Structure 1
């Protein structure tokens, strides 16, 4: 079997939404299948490598994917996607033969906080964003040299944006909203710095007015070159477009669950 995205769709449909696994027919290339799933869900977490299980693996990191194989998993990589774990790799069958496998398992996702906070509530929008996306991985870029970057740009940057980059790294929310790892200055003449964008060519910016970047408002430069202002910071803006169906740039109409697709190089 030569795995393609179409065959992956068929296999996942056969497994269904619950806990299930299969030894794959036709001796497919496990690495090719890993690459196909990574194209959908981003960088995987390695649970088992050469028969050795990562000792930090627990229920919050995909341990349910290993349950069907007991100690027979040889290699297993995992993705968190909404309320489901998806894993692939190799495991030994009942005859002791190493074969490619595909496995899915239910994933407990914390209920996201509501979109609108209570009046006068002091909201940590980054913590809310982590809960909405079900993010469980360690910080991806904790050692960003912001001093060097801000010196090069000639301005300080909003603190919530810096936390987003440090936490999530390179990638896209719902595989759609790309988070820039440093702001683009293409619209500098208009007083705008671009911190994210979409495949629909909308650009998410700040109006860089004033000395306090944490007070810069978000401005969307739409694909038709119109500017739409929002009186909020970047992390709050992302939270709202993810789960508020009434937001003018909502993604809630297209995705029932929300995640962050990490683009970092796979091991």
Structure 2
């Protein structure tokens, strides 16, 4: 059976199934990861991540009580999807597939864009509830080494989210790359498709630097907005040239420190 067949068998609501013992659970995890990206680990070797709550896929563990051995989870739209292994009623460890309802974040209020705190909006869009990941970055040292100040919303983004990727796709650089400095660009993020997300470093005020995307085919696409605003639009606007809204109904930040 394909992943589609298995999910269809579970139906649209909450459900789970034990699968054949002959199925390699790692293969199933890889198949689902090809569709939904890198998973979050909820249970590993029988130990549940103590930070797991309803916002992080706890509903997937309910059918197994303390019998879950390894469970990995994906958020996709209004559904949690999980797979791994758990012990059945006879104590035999078997591959499992489980789905559960996921509460969507409340719609964001529509307000004039000039009044928006784009970092706060980004936190709400991603459902981010973790403490600041890198609150002690030595920006003075980094800016001295780079020879320039950096945009304040980018610094807040790094301090808040740390190392990782929005929707497991837009990879946030922890320090701007200088590869395109001769072109007047600093690179603050990138994707696996080799698009580079940059600032054009015009003027002395980095908070006024526009975003420029250097595409994989070496074209520069300018955007008249700041860093956090660009990410918000890319996540939620299906008409954005680099949208992720076509692929995901809800959005998250995949923290690399928590992905193993």
**TM-score of Structure 1 vs Structure 2, range by shorter chain:** 0.7 to 0.9
Change (3 A) 1:186 1:79: same
Equivalent residue for 2:174? 181
Contact 1:92 1:98 in 2 (8 A): yes
Contact 2:79 2:102 in 1 (8 A): yes
Give the gaps of 5 or more residues in structure 1. Answer: 1-5
Change (3 A) 1:209 1:106: same
Equivalent residue for 2:112? 118
TM-score (norm 1): 0.79
User: Equivalents in 2 of 1:147, 1:11: separation in Å?
Assistant: 53
Change (3 A) 1:143 1:86: farther
Q: How does 1:81-160 map to 2 (within 5 A)?
A: 81-113=76-108, 117-118=111-112, 120-121=114-115, 123-160=116-153
Equivalent residue for 1:21? 16
Change (3 A) 1:231 1:108: same
Contact 2:76 2:249 in 1 (8 A): no
Contact 1:42 1:263 in 2 (8 A): no
SS at 1:247 equivalent:
coil
Change (3 A) 1:43 1:154: farther
Task: State the superposition RMSD in angstroms.
Answer: 3.0
> Per-residue deviation at 1:89?
2.8
Instruction: Kindly tell me the number of residue pairs found equivalent between the two proteins.
Output: 259
State yes or no: 1:214 paired with 2:210. Answer: no
> Per-residue deviation at 1:172?
3.3
> Per-residue deviation at 1:204?
1.8
Contact 1:81 1:259 in 2 (8 A): no
TM-score (norm 2): 0.81
Equivalent residue for 1:61? 56
